[in-house]
Amino acid sequence: MSGELSPIDKAKFVAAKRASEYVESGMRVGLGTGSTAAWLVRCLGEMVRDDGLKITGVPTSTRTAALARDVGIKVASLDEAKWLDVTIDGADEFDGDLNLIKGGGGALLQEKIVATASDRMVVIADVGKEVENLGNFPLPVEVIPFGWQTTQALIEETLVSMDVLGRSSSLRMNNDAPFVTDEGNHILDLHLNRIGNARQLALVLNQMPGVVENGLFIDICDSVVIGYGDGRVEVRDINAGTVETDKLDFVESDNLFADLND
């Protein structure tokens, strides 16, 4: 099956595989959303099945919950689990301080709540997600449907006084209808190109009526596992200030790679 996986998928897989080493029996684990997080869920499912790993997974979306159940991971809500040992999730961008843009998959609200309720957040990403400055990826902002156009106008007006390069925004669509999050909200994608002060922007956005949450994750991520298409991984820990490199043997097992749809 090796020929069927693109280098970027291999990079996502090795990042997920390496991050699965953070997970031990007895842990309560936040399970992220997106294609990289889906690899992680598959890896953990394999460990549950083959190695007797016993964990409770707290998914960050209905999609991840379905996949986790599918691969045999015991699933609980955050309120049942209360506090988590680790959350492992993907990201749309990360910078040198491990601040993130998330929400490309529309799950930023649950992702931020779950990551914040964890002893440790580990991001898994292919090397293409690393940026010098956040903001090239459109910043997702979850807004309630009521008055969303007014909220959008308020956001755009406020951006005039913020340190950003672009100020337009668009309502995320799902075919012909507005995209609806697991919480029944909409997403506005802000086309900022470059965010000069992400911390300030995150605070200002969350002050606005109608805004539920924004996709800037500031001081939440503890480490990042960066995957490369040739099997190399780099693990950066922001608290310890360490950087480790490794190379994983890329062995594709039919179980793990069969019908991964996310």
Residues in the site for ligand 5RP, rule: CB under 6 A? 32-37, 89-92, 102-108, 111
The least CB distance from residue 200 to ligand 5RP, in Å, is: 21
The least CB distance from residue 110 to ligand 5RP, in Å, is: 9
Short-list 125, 138, 64, 60, CA closest to 98: 125
Active-site annotation holder among 4, 21, 46, 111: 111
Q: How far apart are the first and last CA of the chain?
A: 17
Q: Which two tokens stand for residue 57?
A: 């997974």
Short-list 90, 88, 83, CA closest to 118: 83
The least CB distance from residue 29 to ligand 5RP, in Å, is: 15
The least CB distance from residue 220 to ligand 5RP, in Å, is: 12
Strand order in the sheet with 93-94: 93-94, 100-101, 216-217
Instruction: Give the HSE-up count for residue 18: Cα atoms under 13 Å, Cβ half-sphere.
Output: 30
Nearer to ligand 5RP, 101 or 201 (CB): 101
Phi-psi region of 176 (alpha: psi -120 to 50; beta: other; left: phi over 0): alpha
Please list, in sequence order, all residues whose beta carbon lies within 8 angstroms of the beta carbon of residue 237, skipping any fewer than 6 positions away. Answer: 222, 223, 243
Residue 132 known to be catalytic: no
What secondary structure letter does DSSP report for 5? S
Q: Which two tokens stand for residue 156?
A: 């755009």
Q: Report the sign of the C-alpha dihedral through residues 251, 254, 255, 259, in that order.
A: positive
Nearer to ligand 5RP, 89 or 222 (CB): 89
Cα distance between residue 31 and residue 114, in whole Å: 9
The least CB distance from residue 125 to ligand 5RP, in Å, is: 7
The answer to whether 156 touches 167, Cβ cutoff 8 Å, is yes
Place of tokens 């793990």: 256
The least CB distance from residue 16 to ligand 5RP, in Å, is: 9
Q: Which two tokens stand for residue 1?
A: 């099956």
Nearer to ligand 5RP, 113 or 154 (CB): 113
Nearer to ligand 5RP, 30 or 45 (CB): 30
Nearer to ligand 5RP, 33 or 185 (CB): 33
Nearer to ligand 5RP, 50 or 219 (CB): 219
Q: Which residues are catalytic?
A: 111
